[in-house]
Amino acid sequence: MEKTKPVKKFHYVFIFIGVWTDQINYWVLTNSEVKNNKYLSHQHRGGVEYQIGITNKNITEFDCYKQNSSILCDYILNIVKSDLTLS
């Protein structure tokens, strides 16, 4: 009987970092939150790269993803753990 390799499942978490002269902000989005974001668009290179256009007009729409740097790692691990239980 041939052994098959276990399937690796990846849990993508995107961390956006905004740096101003007086503050640093962190936004954490899951893979599905990025894929379904209304500001996601093709960038260049034949449409295989994407970007999320965040501007001063829409930045407040991303407030729900903002995280404190002191709990950033714990927050990301909780996202991955909850995704694992849904699998």
Per-residue pLDDT of the chain (87 residues; tens, 9 = 90+): 566 666 556 667 899 999 988 988 999 998 889 999 999 988 776 767 788 989 999 999 999 999 988 888 888 888 878 766 655
What local confidence, expressed as pLDDT, does residue 47 receive? 67
Domain of residue 34 covers 21-69
Tokens linked to 65: 């993803």
Q: How many separate domains does the chain show? A: 1
> Would the pTM count as exceeding 0.75?
no
Which candidate, 64, 61, 6, places its Cα nearest to that of 38? 61
In a domain, 37, yes or no: yes
What local confidence, expressed as pLDDT, does residue 11 receive? 67
Distance CA 87, CA 84 (A): 5
In this structure, the number of other CB atoms found within 10 A of the CB of residue 75 comes to 14
In a domain, 3, yes or no: no
